[in-house]
Amino acid sequence: MKLNEITDNEGASKKRMRVGRGIGSGKGKTGGRGVKGQKARTGVAIKGFEGGQMPLHRRLPKRGFTPPFSKDYNEVNVGRIQEAVAAGKLATDAPVTIDTLLAAGVVSKRRDGVKILGVGEISAKLAFEVAAASKSAVAAIEKAGGSVKLLAAVAEAAAGA
C-alpha cells in the first residue's frame, strides 16, 4: 500500500448542497428557508427572542452574590508539601513562601497567595510565610516542630495601625 493509493470508503463523504442555484437543483428559489419573514432574510440573530413574550432568562429570578473583594488563594494541603519535601523539591532550611512553592511546582500561579489546609500528614520541620492557613494545618505544622507566619494578618495589622 502506498500513500497515493489510500482512498476513502465508498459513500463516506458527501458533496455539500449548493442552495439557491435554480429550481433544477432541488434547493432553488428560497434555498430551504421557507417563505418571507424575518428568518428568511440574511443577518438574523434572534437567539433569546420569544416573539415579544418576556424571555425565559428575564422571567427567572436573579440568585446569589459575588463578593467584590474576595481573595482567590492557592489551596495546598500539608500532605502535598510533605511529598514535595520528600521528593527534594522543597528545602527544609528556607522558609516556605509562594515563590518557593512556585519553584517547586506545588502551585502553578501566584493568585492572591497561598492557603495551607490540613489534609494529610507532615513530618518536616518547616517555617511557613503564607497568606492564610486553617486551624488544623497550623496544628499539624506546629506538632511537627514548624511555624506559621500569616502575611495577610501582618498586612492588615500594619494598615490598621
Q: What is the mean pLDDT of each run of 10 residues along the chain (161 residues)?
A: 93 92 91 89 84 92 94 95 94 93 94 95 95 96 95 69 60
| Per-residue model confidence (pLDDT) at position 155 | 66
Distance, CA of 78 to CA of 135 (rounded, Å):
12
**Which residue matches cell numbers 495551607?**
116
| Per-residue model confidence (pLDDT) at position 27 | 92
DSSP 75: E
| Per-residue model confidence (pLDDT) at position 39 | 86
CA distances from 82 to 109, 120, 132 (A): 20, 9, 18
Angle of helix 78-86 relative to helix 135-143, nearest 10 degrees, comes to: 40
Domains annotated on the chain, with CATH: 14-64 (no CATH), 74-160 (3.100.10.10)
DSSP 69: T
